[in-house]
Amino acid sequence: MPLIKNDDPMYRLLRDGDIETFNSEKSKGIKVDLSNCDFRSVDLKGLDAAGVDFSGCYFRQGDLRGIDFSEANLRGASINGSKVSGAYFPKQLSALEIELSLIHGTRMRYDEKA
């Protein structure tokens, strides 16, 4: 079950739409673990996702347009109904996995051979 981590300041920044401050804090070298978080209907455009652990997250109806997730962990995340145009996903995620998650809400499984 995705969580709302009110005690995590980095999570709060994203939930509150303060992407600029999140990116600034992250650039200071902070390791960001947002695994199993609830990002339903959150606008994350402009997010620097490199190195962030989003495993198990729930992004239903979120705005993920233009985000480069290629260096993020999306294992087990769900993107049902999200806006994903221009998003770049990790090479371990097949187009079919992304499509199944986008349309049916399945949790994305990594292809370990990729």
Query: DSSP character for 93?
Result: S
Q: Is the dihedral of CA 6, 56, 22, 20 positive or negative?
A: negative
Nearest partner of 74 among 88, 40, 27, judged by Cα: 88
At residue 3, the pLDDT reads 59
At residue 102, the pLDDT reads 98
Structure tokens at 74: 């999306």
Question: What are the pLDDT tens digits along the chain (114 aa)?
Answer: 565 776 899 999 999 999 999 999 999 998 899 999 999 999 999 999 999 999 999 999 999 999 999 999 999 999 999 999 999 999 999 999 999 999 999 999 998 776
| Contacts of 68 by beta carbon, 8 Å cutoff, 6+ apart | 49, 50, 87, 88
At residue 23, the pLDDT reads 98
At residue 114, the pLDDT reads 61
- In whole angstroms, what is the distance from residue 96 CA to residue 88 CA? 14
